[in-house]
Structure formats: structure tokens, C-alpha cells
Amino acid sequence: MSSPGDGDGKRLEGPPEGPKDFIRAIVERDLKAGAHRSVVTRFPPEPNGYLHIGHAKSICLNFGIAKEFGGRCHLRFDDTNPSKEEQEYVDSIQADVRWLGWDWGGHLYFASNYFQQLFEWALHLVRTGKAYVCDLPADEVRRYRGTLKEPGRESPFRNRSAEENLDLFLRMKAGEFADGSRTLRAKIDMAHPNLMMRDPVMYRIRREPHYRTGTAWCIYPMYDFQHPLSDAMEGVTHSLCTVEYEIHRPLYDWFIREAEVFPSRQIEFSRLNITHTVLSKRWLLRLVKEGYVSGWDDPRMPTLAGLRRRGYTPEAIRDFLGRIGVAKTDSYVDIQLLEHCLREDLNKRARRVMAVLHPLKLVIENWPGRGQSGGPGQVEELEAVNNPEDPGAGTRKIPFSGELWIEREDFQEVPPPKYFRLFPGNTVRLRYGYIVTCTGFTKDPATGEITEVRCSYDPATRGGDAPDNRKVKGTIHWVSAAQAIPFEARLFDHLFPSERPMDVEPGVDWVATMNRDSLESLPGAFGEPSLAGAKAGESYQFERLGYFVRDSAEGRDSAGRPVFNRSVNLRDTWAKIEKKGSAS
Ligand code: ATP
Ligand code: MG
């Protein structure tokens, strides 16, 4: 089911085996019919933000098809809007596509490099009477367009001669007219049932420097004109986009036909939506700009940079995309499926370690070497398995002593029903260590907080075995206090409590619906000594607590402690849902 990837930096193979989606079926049919010698696709991001997991769907579809059918996929920046585009985004997008495992070879393109060629095609349309300069201001253009029920009205400037249009368009380019005072429009049909076809604007005047072309241009092409012709220029055979562009398709075809260029073809597929998050650069930009998150790579963000920092692997993301497939109807995908795919992947590769997030001191009263005044006493080395799923991962030594940290919730003064962990008189197994019995505890009289738990250990139970077949129901994890590595743990919750935060009621600002407690910092956590060597981006399973990754952006918190982000907890709700589904 998952994409075969070996994680050694080699390129991943194609998508999972299985029935072809409708787009792959079209490509296969076209190639068999000899419509094209080879398939050419493109991924066309606008560099106005960081990529999110919705883009990953488009990336894996475009690059995946090119790879499977022996063609090529271009990375083209659709950068024809000067106001929101930046080099920072160009760089991050390239890094993210590579991280996902794809390579565009020499096929890196910028639509802004096509400005001259696009301009010449526009001149061609002016000369052939298919485009005209219109002096209506933007709001008038809108008023003239009509509605779904009513046809539009023709602009009073629609019937200018080709000579006059040519002269005016050249002067638009030369900067003779004010911003917004004129546009170049395609001359199609003001009564067309599809509003897109009612003489759409091709060029507008805008004196705004572009991040690549500077002030060379003061007219900029609109998406609907630029996109099909950029595709054609690159010989793109199958131009894949999301369903909201379906109504643009007649216009796409019109420009291809009228400009007499390579017949690229647009095919739409459903947009990816995921519950409890938002997938739109515009919305994500607002979270960043207004400080609701720490940046585009905040581990709560559905951006590829955020997911990476959260501990997601390309393999987990590609497995997820393979499972949801490609269809034409929009839907929301349960975020638990994404988390399930991450667990499946990390389960195979993450080394197990012990760490304590909410520490409580456990003292072993009969531990050898403890003096009158207590102390850790003798230190013993115990052997622990690195990954039960991967025998090749080997074992490691962990220190054990008379003073340990355990998880606060693993002790209860008065145990609730079915509580098998520590409480006065009860016996538990310390993972990889000994069997201990609780002998007492200390409580702060002022706050009622438990400050220490005491126990005695059975020396005959080293490694956790009970030689006399004693029944011990609970096993808890621990860290030897004297050797513990202090660290900061960061736990995350969904950004939005609502399943579909993008479907807000009219009048409600979606930002107000955010979960303001989605980040929990635990600066007082302790880990076993082997965590000292954790590298940025390295994933671990903290036994019983979840998968954690050493933070790759900050690395250490303000007190110099290493930071570990929780990627996902260990409760696989999706696996339960699946089981239920197959049982019923
Ligand atoms: P956003 O709304 O996030 O800004 P966009 O479509 O405006 O997205 P582009 O940079 O234009 O962003 O997108 C590049 C490509 O990624 C397009 O082909 C677009 O259709 C595709 N894409 C964007 N969002 C999604 C999504 N949620 N699911 C699938 N494909 C997507
Ligand atoms: Mg866009």
C-alpha cells in the first residue's frame, strides 16, 4: 500500500499499485492513441506563500504521472502578479518539492520569463481582431458583464479598429496611461452563458515592481490568458488543476485555439481538504502575518515545512496521498488518516527511548549503596531494545539507580477503578528494570501536591521478569534522575476545533474559531541519556507517550534545553475506525 521508499536519500518510486485513477486512464489512452509522443505535466505554484499538503497532492500527481509514463514534469512558477510574490517563497517551494522526493531535472521555468512572448501573442490577437483595448474602469467592466440570468452588455470600446487597438495597447505597454485606466480584453461573447467568456481581461496596467522583472513592465497578463499559453509554450500535454478551474476551461481552450499554439489540455481533479485545518495559502499567510503561529514552519501548520518540523516524513505523506487517491468530487479527508500514515511509517523507523514529560520522583528505599541520607546509590546498566519492529536496530544500555523520574499520572494516592499503576501497596514493573512495590509517598501539606513516591524493589526481578510467575498488571516507564537529560517537550493539538473550519457561517471571522490552546510547552521533561545525541529532525518513540522529533528550527529553547516536538501520539483512532468498518 505504501510507496516503496527506503529513506536513504534515494528517489522514491511511483505511487501504490492499484486501479488507475481517471487522469492516469486519460493519459494512457492519449499515449496509446498516439496523440503525444510522451507525456509532459507541470506543477505551477504561485510564489506567494509556502506549499501545503494540498499542493503535495498536485505535486505527486504531476510528477508521479510523468515518471510512470516515462515523460517529464516541469516546475513552473506562475509568477505574473507583482504584488504578492517573493524569492523566499520560490526557494521554499523548490526545497519542499525536492524533500517530497521529486526532481524536475533541467525543467525549471518562470512564467515571468514569458512576458515578452505573451505580449507578442496578445499583439497577434489584437491584429486578428480577437482582442481590444477597453477604457471602462474595473467596476464598470463588472457591471457590463451581466449575471448568470442576464446577458452582459458590450463595452462601448468593443468595436475599435485593429489599428486603434494596436496603437493603444503599445502605448499601454509604454506606460502612457494611468494604472487601471485601460485593459486589454479578449473579444469573445458578452452573451455567453459562461461568465468567464464575456470578454475577459487579458492585461491590466499596474506600476508595481515585480520580484524578477523589476520595473521592466507596467502591464501584467491575467491568469486565464497566461496559464494556457505558458503550458503551450512548454509543450505541456496534460495540464492538471483543481476543480474550481473547470469553468475556466472553455477560456483556456479559446486562447490556445486563437493563439494557434500547442494544444495543451486542462483536466481537473478534486482539491484536498483535511479536517481541523485550513488549506489555502491566503489563509495560512494570515495566521503567519498576524502571529497566530510562529511562522510558516510552525509544527501545527499544514505546510510541508510545518509537517517536516513536526516529524512527518515524505514517505508518510506519499502513503497518505496514495490512499486518498484522485477523483473529481471535493471532499474532506479525516486528519486521523494522515496521522495514521505517520504512525505506520515511524513505527518502522523510530528508535524507542524512555522519557518523562511530567516528572515525579520515585525513590527505591532498599536500593544498594543508598546512605542514611538517601541519594541514588549504585548505578546499574540495563539493556533495552531499540526497536521491536526492527531487530537490526539492536539494543542499548540505560542507567538505573535508586532515584528515578516517573510520570506524575503513574501514581495515584487513591486509585480509580481498574488503575494498575502505582498506589500505596501496589506492585508494578519498571520497564526493562525491576518489579517494585509502593511503600509510601510525601505530600506538600500546603498545596496537596505529591512530591515524592517511595517503593522497595525485588532484586530477583532484573529485566522485569517475575521468576515466581507473580501477576504484575502494570508496567510504567522511568528515567534515572542523576543521568537524565532535561529537555522541553512541545505537544500540539488541532489548529481548529471545528472539522471544517473553512466552512464558516457568514459574518464569522474564521480566525476567531481557532483553538488558542493548540500548543502546550513542557519545559521540565527528562529523557534517558541516549537522547543527548539526538540530531535535528531525528524521530523517536518515547515509550507510552508518542512519536517525538528533535526540533529542526530552534533545536534548543531559551534555557538551552533541547526541544522535542510531539509528531503524533500512540492512540491510533484511525486503525480502530478501519477495524470497525471492516467488521460491520
Ligand atoms: P492556495 O489557495 O493554497 O493559494 P492555489 O491554487 O492558489 O492554492 P497555486 O500556487 O496556484 O495555489 O497552486 C499550485 C497548484 O497546486 C495548482 O495547480 C493548484 O490547483 C494545486 N493546489 C492548490 N491547492 C490544492 C489542494 N488543496 N489540493 C490539490 N491541489 C491543490
Ligand atoms: Mg492560486
Express each pLDDT in 172-225 by its tens digit: 999 999 999 999 999 999 999 999 999 999 999 999 999 999 999 999 999 999
Beta strand 72-77 pairing with 40-43: parallel
Task: With both helix axes pointing from N to C terminus, report the angle between 223-233 and 249-259 in degrees, rounded to the nearest 10.
Answer: 60
Q: Which of 153, 271, 408, 462 is catalytic?
A: 271
CA of 56 to the centre of ligand 1 (A): 9
With a CB cutoff of 8 Å and minimum separation 6, the contacts of 402 are 363, 364, 367, 368, 369, 370, 374, 375, 376, 377, 378
Nearest to 381 by CA among 400, 394, 395, 404: 400
The residue type found at 132 is Y
Q: Which residues surround ligand 2, an ion (CB under 5 A)?
A: 46
Nearest to 468 by CA among 420, 427, 419: 427
- C-alpha to C-alpha distance for 424 and 455, rounded to whole angstroms: 9
State the Cα–Cα distance between residues 454 and 440, nearest whole angstrom: 5
Torsion of CA 216, 218, 224, 229, to 10 degrees: -30
Q: How far is the CA of 223 from the centre of ligand 2 (A)?
A: 9
Sequence-separated (6 or more) residues with CB below 8 Å from residue 533 = none
Task: Kindly report, residue by residue over 100-140, the tens digit of the pLDDT.
Answer: 999 999 999 999 999 999 999 999 999 999 999 999 999 99
Nearest to 122, CA basis, from 198, 204, 202: 202
131-134: strand order across its sheet? 131-134, 183-186, 201-205, 219-221
Residue 152 in contact with ligand 1 by CB distance below 6 A: no
Distance CA 546, CA 352 (A): 10
Flag the least confident range among 2-11, 177-186, 232-241: 2-11
Question: Which ligand minimizes its atom distance to the CA of 239?
Answer: 1
In tens, the pLDDT along 368-421 reads: 999 888 889 999 999 999 999 998 999 999 999 999 999 999 999 999 999 999
Nearest ligand (C-alpha, residue 54): 1
Asked whether 271 lines ligand 1 (CB < 6 A), one says yes
Residue 405 gets which letter from DSSP?
A: E
Q: Indicate which residue of 24, 72, 160, 281 is catalytic.
A: 281
Give the distance (Å) from ligand 1 centre to CA of residue 479.
46
Rounded to two decimals, the pTM is 0.93
Index of the ligand 1 atom closest to the CA of residue 245: 20
Question: Cell numbers 495597447 correspond to what residue?
Answer: 169
Q: Is 44 in the pocket of ligand 1 (CB under 6 A)?
A: yes
**Catalytic residue at 281?**
yes
Task: Give the ranges where 234-332 is alpha helix by DSSP (H).
Answer: 249-259, 281-289, 304-310, 314-324
Is residue 279 within 6 Å of ligand 1 at its C-beta? yes
- Decide whether any atom of ligand 1 lies within 6 Å of the 241 Cβ: yes
67 is an active site residue: no
Q: Which helix (H) or strand (E) holds 26?
A: helix 22-32
Task: Assess whether the C-beta atom of 272 lies below 6 angstroms from ligand 1.
Answer: yes
302 lines ligand 1 (CB under 6 A): no
Q: Could you tell me the distance, in angstroms and rounded to a whole number, from the CA of residue 447 to the centre of ligand 2? A: 56
| Residue-level pLDDT at 144 | 97
